[in-house]
A and B are shown apart, each in its own frame.
Chain A
């Protein structure tokens, strides 16, 4: 019992990990395959082939030809997550035979479960880590609110399912920040920071922004120790973590990716160039189809405001400006007090809760910068904006931490009313449950169609449709009409699943989501049935169907609160 009490946070973290993993694992088969997952599935099977060759004939696997044969596919992303997917695939299918439904976990979506297993584990780890960071920064209740606030947000829960890199890089980013924070007082963590960052950049390129953030943090928190005198320039102590990141980061990045073992600089150059020259996909934003840069700088802020559950958003904004105000110091506080006097709500000395700092200087800036920088990067008008909030998902754990801190702060402001129910711990628990309830309800309501989630501020999916916001992306919502298609399409007919790539179409068939006798079609004109996904930039697909059928009649559809998401057309008309 004593052991449990002294390691309570560890046990709670373990509980959060298991609960998140089981939720993802149980619910995972309902979430359709994203376009990118289709490519990553194929790539991972290729990489699995390399691991198999490595086991049987290492010398063959390690040749340039052996590496290229397996790793040239999907070279635009590092391979850490895909390697884990490959190992998961191998674990359940050691011979590498064509996947059968009976393999792996068996049943519908067994292949998807196997391929998504690493992502589920990493996402669950992220929730546990966020809880531990909250505990370390403030208290258990702060950690718990932050962790639950993060995973219960509709879009976050959706991304946690996918065999993609957005949630894994968010977790790796969080882990690197935690290591860097510990490195202030520990040499071992100073070294470990480099290793963890190496793993982060092995997940996705977002993590390349972390050193900039750490240098900013160092300059802000240690900047007052710079001095210039006759004795020379005095520079504050450079954190060990910077050196370890410089050495271990590139070593792990190159080491984990066999494709970089030959022609290293040329291939790294190609990789960076791919992302620096990335195409812009059209994106609907307040009724305008954004097609090319410059994009509105407000975009990531507005999308965050409309997609994060409202109570979490309000609390996050309170924490964001609260911590910023505190860190910017006296001028803002003086102005605030002056406004308070003007409003008549506070004239004398500050209450105890307001005098207590939100966070110390270093933690304050660290959390604030992590909540701000990823969003700020996407606010730069030349940065691609497709993909919605997934491109700044790595800011969200920190926004949720700020939300949890803000709630703590607001509860502390409540005067002592004498009654037991108003004790801070009970008050915090009660308000936290109420504040998280909309997240849970929103999550249940949106189901597996996470890219369509909009909060109550937007008015949900219908409100977002009225506002002219991007209704969906990545094509996975097609699962909403597959049961109807399986039931109603006659044998051997041609089916065009708009926006679904060939890789995903085949995976739907081999994983039991779509009847195997149905033939894939690439154009609505060449198909007997079409499942059209509403995208503003693709309306011409639907119009071609109207023209072809000489009618606007649909057979079936996936609607969320009456908003059409996927519409099924047939040529039987």
Chain B
């Protein structure tokens, strides 16, 4: 075989690049599928999670689309969110994280020690972690969404309150218009699905949702947001959520024209152990396509 000069060697580079790309791609299609977990891996992970499950636990999957975990653990509290590191886990005490190959870098509080790792295990192609969240004594004592069927919902026309009296399939219906209701829904707020209360404001006046016999606690926490469709609509009209406890205003949130799942929290420890009357009032000057949603909880 002849010896190559330096210039001749350069002329081999383009073909070498094609060979490199071909070898990489061949390797990709052969190796990559071998890395993923099988059903046995999921079953084993399920056994561990169920065996050590405690009140206040939640499962998070990484990447967010890894839905096969729901075949095994879907009946438990489970979150599929794009950014687990930035997620608000205020209502939970421990987080189980189930990861697929290539998605083990959790980042944020999972890596910087804010969340304490209690368990780390590789199960075939699955990674399983359990983290203890800060303030482990924290407890959610009241979930407004869960208790929505006990609420009294009213809409106002000319200052007069009208009851939304029909409770049908998770919803208090306020009018024949099918978007004018207060109900439990799962919708995208931002990029992720959220279990929230649908409270589209009404044209005629405020919408009020009263909860009685609400226990006291350290804080009242809500999340608000508009759905992506609503935020895309060229309305640019904010929605205001005002929170009253025992008839006095605790605070208000002005939800600007953007989608997302925005947290807000008020200290209620000074109000005592309760029970309290909590009212949420939703208003909007031009409520066209204002798909406003919120959730709320009392944390102790």
Please report A residues at the B interface, Cβ cutoff 8 Å.
287, 289, 291, 309-311, 314-315, 318, 345-347, 351, 407, 410-411, 413-419, 427, 431, 434-435, 437-438, 441-442, 445, 455-456, 460, 462, 465-466, 534, 539-540, 543-544, 546-547, 551-557, 559, 561-564, 567, 573
Contacts and interface: CB of A to CB of B under 8 A. Distances in A.
A546 B24 CA distance: 41
A346 B32 contact: no
A75 B137 CA distance: 67
Contacts of A456: 24-25, 28-29
A257 to B, nearest CB: 40
Contacts of B63: 462, 465-466
A318 B18 CA distance: 10
Nearest to B5: A415
A441 B29 CA distance: 6
Return the 3 tightest CB-CB contacts between A and B, nearest first: A553-B74, A438-B25, A441-B29
A310 B21 contact: yes
B119 to A, nearest CB: 22
B155 to A, nearest CB: 23
B10 A346 contact: yes
B32 A460 contact: yes
Given A417-B2, A561-B33, A554 B25 contact: no
Contacts of A466: 63
Contacts of A462: 63, 100, 102
A340 B286 CA distance: 64
B26 A438 contact: yes
Interface stretch (B89-97, B186-194, B274-282): B186-194
Interface in B74-95: 74-75, 78
B15 A419 contact: no
Interface residues of B, number: 50
Interface string B5-20: 0011011111101110
Given A414-B11, A456-B25, A466-B63, A551 B68 contact: no
Contact of B75 (A318, A414, A551, A563): A551
A562 B26 contact: no
Contacts of A289: 228
Contacts of B8: 415
B28 A460 contact: yes
Contact of A554 (B2, B22, B67, B102): B67
B10 to A, nearest CB: 4
Nearest to B32: A460
Interface string B42-79: 00000000000000000000010111101100110010
Interface centre among A346, A351, A460, A543, by most chain B C-beta atoms within 10 angstroms, is A543
A415 B11 contact: yes
16 contacts: A287-B191, A310-B22, A345-B11, A416-B2, A417-B2, A417-B4, A431-B18, A431-B19, A434-B19, A546-B186, A546-B193, A553-B74, A554-B70, A557-B68, A557-B71, A567-B70
A413 B11 contact: yes
Nearest to B67: A564
Contact of A417 (B1, B36, B75, B228): B1
Contacts of A437: 22, 25-26
Contact of B70 (A311, A553, A562, A563): A553
Contact of A441 (B18, B30, B232): B30
B184 interface: yes
A539 B68 contact: no
Nearest to B125: A562
Given A551-B75, A561-B36, A438 B18 contact: no
Given A311-B18, A456-B28, A540-B188, 7 more contacts: A314-B21, A346-B7, A410-B14, A419-B1, A438-B25, A543-B188, A547-B184
Contact of B71 (A315, A427, A556): A556
B117 interface: no
A556 B71 CA distance: 7
B2 A418 contact: yes
B18 A410 contact: yes
Contacts of B4: 415, 417
Contact of A562 (B22, B23, B37): B37
B185 interface: yes
B11 A552 contact: no
B68 A559 contact: yes
B71 A555 contact: yes
Contacts of A552: 70, 74-75, 78
A416 B2 CA distance: 8
Given A415-B8, A445-B33, A438 B65 contact: no
A557 B65 CA distance: 13
Interface of B: 1-2, 4, 7-8, 10-15, 17-19, 21-26, 28-30, 32-33, 36-37, 63, 65-68, 70-71, 74-75, 78, 100, 102, 170, 184-188, 191, 193, 195, 228, 232
Most chain A Cβ neighbours within 10 Å, of B19, B29, B100, B187: B29
Nearest to B15: A410
A314 B216 CA distance: 65
A49 B75 CA distance: 52
A434 B15 contact: no
Given A418-B1, A462-B102, A543-B193, A435 B22 contact: yes
A563 B65 contact: yes
Nearest to A353: B11
A313 B136 CA distance: 53
Given A417-B4, A562-B100, A434 B23 contact: yes
Which of B2, B65, B66 is packed against the most chain A CB atoms within 10 Å? B65
Contacts of B18: 311, 314-315, 407, 410, 431, 435
B261 to A, nearest CB: 14
Contacts of B195: 546
A460 B32 CA distance: 9
B22 to A, nearest CB: 4
A109 to B, nearest CB: 26
B71 A431 contact: no
Nearest to A559: B68
Nearest to A544: B186
A534 B68 CA distance: 13
A365 to B, nearest CB: 24
Nearest to B192: A539
B187 to A, nearest CB: 6
B149 to A, nearest CB: 13
Contact of A547 (B12, B29, B185): B185
Contacts of B11: 345, 351, 413-415
A434 B26 contact: yes
A321 to B, nearest CB: 12
Contacts of B71: 553-557
Contacts of B23: 434
Contacts of A559: 67-68
A418 B3 CA distance: 9
Contact of B29 (A414, A445, A555, A557): A445
B75 A311 contact: no
